[in-house]
């Protein structure tokens, strides 16, 4: 589907100012790299070429095995140069190329020589490179040097060894744990960074031993930590100990709380803030414990540094959710932040004030917010709208001014999510505050006069149909509703017709006027609008007389449908036109398959699960319960995901079969849901023969046949495959249904003793990459994205080729990845030439993944895409790119 995309010319103009290497070609740079072989080395020229190579690598350019090897060997020749600047570039280049084990030997002797050099810069960098490219065998050889480096007098060398230890702990924990004594000595270092790195490494070595962590925190909180960075780490570790001990300490006493409070008087601002934040986040924190933390945060509100103001107001905003009274003292300081140049600070200040303000301050706040709203982005506006809604529910007497404010901003410019947040807020206020109903409904009516969003117009019309007839003067809303029939698209017109009918049904005095309007709708050019108008006119009594509408008619038209739509559809299909009209009361209220499911032998899967598309959590739980109860699959571990059923037969065939794919870490189980639709037959020993020749990574390990399949009583048969653990293996499977057929006597319902073996060809089944991704949304994508580790981000560009539309391209990529679209970004606005789509999910192995897709038209039909992935594991970020590249 995708090929790497060449950057476009218009991008070059934007980036030319700040990227001197833009537009360089890999081939040309590899030619330039020949200068590394010159007898007389030019350090400046070599450094420039290495910089270009590093630029290409960091832009995602891939080097072939041959190219990487040639560059690596050429770079190693630069060790003969004595130029310090060039040597530093060589170290970086070796780390970035990450050569294979057989090539590393070429540089290890040079690096080990540098590691014992008298030049500290050489020693520090050589340690970092060696630890990056080495394996366990070489590590044991240089372990003695690393231990010495940890306690080296030069802080640069000591920090290099400690940071290397943090990385090595992931791959060679046993070796690193032997350095505890040296690391403990480094924790007492006078160098700030050394102490910081040493404390981080020591905690990681001990993190699985709770008692050891307690002892570490206990010894260090007595005052031996001088580095502000290390002190911040210590505060975090102390908070962790307090949280863990809170469960075991019923008396409410908090060990180490005095240490946190003492840190509020530290000379470093970062330590003060870290301690204040830690105190506010303690479980069950009391007002007395909060007071000193709130006091220092209040001082930060008037700081000249924007970062401190932001940190303080954000922390106070969180505290206001649980302890609004404690934050009230800071209100005057926060009011001055409403005009802060940093819009993030201003937004947080306003929302905090709205949470903590009293009734008398509401009007003053509203005046300040009105000017502020025009300066901020939609995402900030939504936060403010939600805070105003909460304030209105808190002080219902102020509903008039708050409702007017919401109405005014509703008529201003803004995107769909912003307008939806305002409409939702007004709807909630109308429902919860009776006095706000009439003014709120009029505000909504005025909004739909020029609303550009179909979804919001139909939602408001529906709500108006429920609440409007209950008001003191329902007639004043009719004009707004009927205007929609003339001025809007077919979807809104249909919604307006339904709303008019509700007024006619619920308000008898309005019925004649409503009939006149509904009759005009009979000539609409859309069949849905015409059909609705016809239905409502006939149901309400088409003569237009002022008669009371019966309760049964009201219930039929506007009540909830208490019969399954599937049953209604089947009943309508079976109904043959006659003098007797169709009776909705004759439609069965139970789903037909439910009683049949109870007839099956115990241990078989209920039909509802086989037919459920994705299902609520209870369905997933039921799948897991069922599979774990089958001995052949009981040891497969935890079920990661079950797919929606995939149909393997055409409709109306003798045998109906669909399959659900159950994904485990090292296995895939296919659950074939089979239904026999021939009354005169009984099927026995039903199995599915699966051919996995086009799925090389899968090996069949078990199958569970279905003993008996009577007429119209669904049953399940299973086939299990083993696959490489944690790998998103894909492939095609062909399926053959095999069974023994026995004739059934229709009069007695008994089957013959003898049967005939038969087969029935099913459609192919495919396991795709999307099967290894769970659709899991996030409530705030931006926050989730920013809290995800940026080191695990992978970005690349792709050409998707010619597409019917931008929307079709967006849909194709969403389906390929199988992720959950966030914040409505799966919808592409009409005639848009670019679009950003946000996706969220959980990848196999329970790894959270976030994706940001930027689409653009690269010509009349060609679509270009930029894919940015962040996850909890960089290997997963790479895997997402591989899925797109090969999709």
Using pLDDT thresholds of 50, 70 and 90, give the confidence band for residue 542.
low
Q: Closest Cα partner for 627 from 541, 527, 702?
A: 702
CATH of the domain at 668: 2.60.40.1480
pLDDT above 50 for 40:
yes
Question: Is residue 345 included in any domain, yes or no?
Answer: no
Residues 499 and 427 grouped into a single domain: no
Residues 619 and 537 grouped into a single domain: no
Q: pLDDT over 70 for what percent of the chain?
A: 87
pLDDT at 9: 47
Higher-scoring residue by pLDDT: 600, 205: 205
CATH of the domain at 832: 3.30.310.10
Using pLDDT thresholds of 50, 70 and 90, give the confidence band for residue 839.
very high
Residues 44/46/52/53 CA torsion (nearest 10 deg): -150
Higher-scoring residue by pLDDT: 468, 20: 468
Query: Taking the CB of residue 472, how many other CB atoms lie within 10 A of it?
Result: 7
Residues 757 and 777 grouped into a single domain: no
pLDDT above 80 for 758:
yes
Contact 716, 752 (CB under 8 A): no
pLDDT above 80 for 815:
yes
- 3-state class (DSSP) for residue 847: strand
Over residues 847-868, the pLDDT tens digits come to 899 999 988 887 777 888 989 9
pLDDT above 90 for 721:
yes
Q: Closest Cα partner for 800 from 882, 866, 880?
A: 866
Q: Closest Cα partner for 658 from 771, 766, 762?
A: 762
Higher-scoring residue by pLDDT: 592, 848: 848
β-strand pairing of 646-647 with 655-663: antiparallel
> What is the tally of structural domains in the chain?
5
Average pLDDT over residues 766-777: 88
Residues 482 and 413 grouped into a single domain: no
Using pLDDT thresholds of 50, 70 and 90, give the confidence band for residue 547.
low
CATH of the domain at 224: 1.25.10.10
pLDDT above 60 for 669:
yes
Using pLDDT thresholds of 50, 70 and 90, give the confidence band for residue 662.
very high
Over residues 303-345, the pLDDT tens digits come to 889 899 999 988 988 888 778 788 877 878 887 887 788 878 8
Question: Is residue 346 included in any domain, yes or no?
Answer: no
What residues does 656 pair with on adjacent strands? 675
Residues 443 and 460 grouped into a single domain: no
Question: Is residue 507 included in any domain, yes or no?
Answer: yes
pLDDT above 50 for 12:
no
Q: Cα separation of 697 and 769, whole Å?
A: 14
pLDDT above 70 for 41:
yes
For the chain, what percentages of helix, strand and coil (3-state, to nearest 5) are there?
A: 60, 15, 30
pLDDT at 659: 93
Using pLDDT thresholds of 50, 70 and 90, give the confidence band for residue 250.
very low
Question: Is residue 3 included in any domain, yes or no?
Answer: no
Q: Which two tokens stand for residue 813?
A: 């990529």
pLDDT above 50 for 6:
no
Residues 606 and 544 grouped into a single domain: no
Over residues 360-375, the pLDDT tens digits come to 666 677 776 776 676 6
Average pLDDT over residues 729-750: 86
Over residues 443-458, the pLDDT tens digits come to 888 888 888 888 888 9
pLDDT at 602: 33
The boundaries of the domain holding residue 235 are: 26-251
Question: Is residue 273 included in any domain, yes or no?
Answer: no
Over residues 124-182, the pLDDT tens digits come to 888 888 888 777 677 787 888 888 888 888 899 999 999 988 888 888 888 888 888 89
Over residues 599-611, the pLDDT tens digits come to 233 333 333 333 3
Q: Cα separation of 257 and 282, whole Å?
A: 10
Top mean pLDDT of 61-70, 134-143, 265-274, 435-444 is at: 265-274
pLDDT above 80 for 497:
yes
Residues 850 and 741 grouped into a single domain: no
Final residue before a domain boundary, out of 217, 251, 285:
251
Question: Is residue 571 included in any domain, yes or no?
Answer: no
Tell the residue number behind the tokens 């995939």, with chain if given.
Answer: 646
Average pLDDT over residues 85-113: 77
Residues 147 and 36 grouped into a single domain: yes
pLDDT at 102: 57
The backbone torsions φ and ψ at residue 646, rounded to the nearest 5 degrees and listed phi first, read -110, 125
Alpha helices, DSSP H, located in 286-436:
287-301, 306-322, 324-327, 331-336, 343-356, 362-373, 378-394, 399-410, 416-432
Final residue before a domain boundary, out of 767, 783, 808:
767
Final residue before a domain boundary, out of 215, 232, 251:
251
Task: Give the H/E segment covering residue 856.
Answer: strand 847-857
pLDDT at 103: 66
Q: Cα separation of 309 and 301, whole Å?
A: 5
Residues 591/594/596/597 CA torsion (nearest 10 deg): 150
Residues 684 and 803 grouped into a single domain: no
pLDDT above 70 for 592:
no
Question: Is residue 570 included in any domain, yes or no?
Answer: no
Residues 130 and 142 grouped into a single domain: yes
Higher-scoring residue by pLDDT: 620, 818: 818
Q: Closest Cα partner for 151 from 106, 130, 181, 177?
A: 181
Distances (CA, A) of 369 to 338, 373, 436, 774, 833: 8, 6, 21, 41, 34
Summary mean pLDDT of the chain: 81
Question: Is residue 577 included in any domain, yes or no?
Answer: no
Average pLDDT over residues 55-59: 84
Residues 433 and 493 grouped into a single domain: no
pLDDT above 70 for 410:
yes
Residues 626 and 504 grouped into a single domain: no
Q: pLDDT over 90 for what percent of the chain?
A: 11
């Amino acid at each position: 589907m995708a090929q790497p995309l060449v950057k476009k010319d218009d991008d070059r103009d934007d980036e030319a100012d700040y990227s001197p290497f833009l537009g360089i070609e890999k081939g040309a740079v590899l030619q330039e790299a020949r200068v590394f072989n010159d007898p007389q080395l030019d350090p400046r020229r070599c450094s420039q070429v290495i910089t270009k190579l590093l630029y290409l690598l960091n832009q995602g350019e891939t080097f072939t095995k041959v190219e990487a090897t040639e560059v690596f060997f050429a770079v190693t020749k630069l060790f003969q140069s004595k130029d310090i600047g060039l040597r530093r570039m060589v170290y970086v280049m070796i780390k970035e190329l990450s050569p294979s084990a057989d090539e590393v030997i070429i540089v290890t002797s040079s690096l080990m020589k540098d590691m014992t050099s008298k030049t500290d810069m050489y020693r520090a960098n050589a340690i970092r490179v060696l630890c990056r490219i080495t394996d366990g065998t070489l590590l044991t050889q240089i372990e003695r040097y690393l231990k010495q480096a940890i306690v080296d007098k030069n802080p640069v060398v000591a920090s290099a060894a400690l940071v290397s230890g943090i990385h090595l702990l992931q791959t060679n924990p046993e070796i690193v744990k032997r350095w505890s004594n040296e690391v403990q000595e480094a924790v007492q270092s006078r160098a700030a960074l050394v102490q910081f790195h040493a404390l981080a490494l020591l905690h990681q070595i001990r993190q699985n031993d709770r008692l050891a962590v307690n002892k570490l925190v206990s010894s260090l909180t007595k005052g031996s930590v001088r580095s502000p960075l290390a002190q911040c780490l210590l505060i975090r570790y102390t908070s962790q100990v307090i949280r863990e001990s809170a469960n075991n300490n019923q008396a409410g006493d908090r060990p180490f709380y005095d240490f946190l409070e003492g840190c509020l008087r530290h000379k470093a601002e970062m330590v003060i803030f870290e301690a204040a934040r830690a105190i506010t986040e303690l479980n069950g924190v009391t007002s007395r414990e909060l007071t000193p933390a709130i006091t220092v945060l209040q001082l930060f509100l008037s700081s000249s540094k924007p970062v401190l103001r932001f940190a303080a107001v954000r922390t106070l905003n969180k505290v206001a959710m649980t302890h609004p009274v404690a934050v009230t003292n800071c209100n005057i300081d926060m009011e001055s932040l409403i005009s802060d140049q940093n819009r993030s600070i201003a937004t947080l200040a306003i929302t905090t004030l709205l949470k903590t303000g009293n009734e008398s301050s509401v009007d003053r706040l509203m005046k300040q917010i009105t000017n502020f709203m025009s300066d901020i982005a939609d995402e900030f506006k939504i936060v403010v709208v939600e805070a105003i809604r909460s304030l209105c529910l808190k002080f219902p007497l102020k509903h008039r001014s708050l409702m007017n404010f919401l109405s005014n901003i509703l008529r201003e410019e803004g995107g769909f999510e912003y307008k939806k947040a305002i409409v939702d807020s007004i709807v909630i206020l109308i429902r919860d505050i009776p006095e706000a109903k009439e003014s709120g409904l009029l505000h909504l009516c005025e909004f739909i006069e020029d609303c550009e969003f179909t979804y919001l117009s139909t939602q408001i019309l529906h709500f108006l149909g429920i609440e409007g007839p209950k008001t003191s003067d329902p007639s004043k809303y009719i004009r707004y509703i009927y205007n929609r029939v003339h001025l809007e698209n077919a979807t809104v017109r249909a919604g307006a017709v339904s709303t008019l009918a509700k007024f006619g049904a619920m308000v008898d005095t309005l019925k004649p006027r409503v009939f006149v309007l509904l009759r005009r709708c009979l000539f609409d050019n859309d069949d849905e609008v015409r059909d609705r108008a016809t239905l409502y006119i006939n149901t309400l009594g088409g003569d237009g007389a002022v008669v009371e509408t019966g309760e049964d008619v009201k219930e039929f038209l506007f009540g909830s449908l208490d019969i399954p739509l599937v049953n209604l559809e089947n009943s309508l299909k079976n109904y043959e036109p006659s003098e007797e009209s169709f009776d909705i009361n004759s439609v069965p209220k139970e789903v037909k398959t439910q009683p049949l499911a109870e007839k099956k032998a115990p241990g078989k899967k209920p039909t509802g699960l086989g037919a459920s598309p994705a299902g609520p959590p209870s369905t997933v739980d039921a799948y897991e319960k069922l599979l774990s109860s089958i001995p052949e699959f009981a040891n497969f571990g935890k079920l990661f995901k079950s797919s929606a059923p995939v149909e393997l037969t055409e409709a109306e065939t003798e045998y109906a079969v669909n399959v659900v794919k159950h994904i485990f870490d090292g296995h895939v189980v296919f659950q074939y849901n089979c239904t026999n639709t021939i009354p005169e037959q009984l099927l026995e020993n039903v199995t599915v023969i699966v051919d996995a020749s086009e799925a090389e990574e899968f090996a069949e390990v078990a199958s569970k046949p279905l003993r008996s399949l009577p007429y119209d009583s669904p049953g399940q048969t299973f086939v299990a495959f083993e696959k490489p653990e944690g790998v998103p293996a894909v492939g095609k499977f062909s399926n053959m249904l095999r069974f023994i057929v026995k004739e059934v006597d229709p009069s007695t319902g008994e089957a013959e003793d003898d049967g005939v073996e038969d087969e029935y060809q099913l459609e192919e089944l495919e396991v795709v990459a999307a099967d290894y991704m769970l659709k899991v949304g996030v409530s705030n994508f931006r926050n989730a994205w920013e809290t995800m580790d940026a080191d695990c981000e992978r970005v690349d560009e792709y050409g998707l080729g010619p597409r019917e539309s931008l929307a079709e391209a967006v849909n194709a990529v969403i389906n390929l990845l199988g992720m959950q679209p966030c914040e409505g970004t799966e919808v592409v606005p009409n005639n848009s030439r670019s679009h950003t789509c946000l996706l969220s999910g959980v990848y196999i192995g329970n790894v959270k993944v976030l994706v940001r897709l930027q689409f653009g038209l690269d010509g009349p039909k060609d679509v270009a895409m930029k894919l940015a992935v962040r996850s909890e594991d960089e290997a997963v970020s790479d895997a997402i790119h591989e899925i797109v590249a090969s999709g």
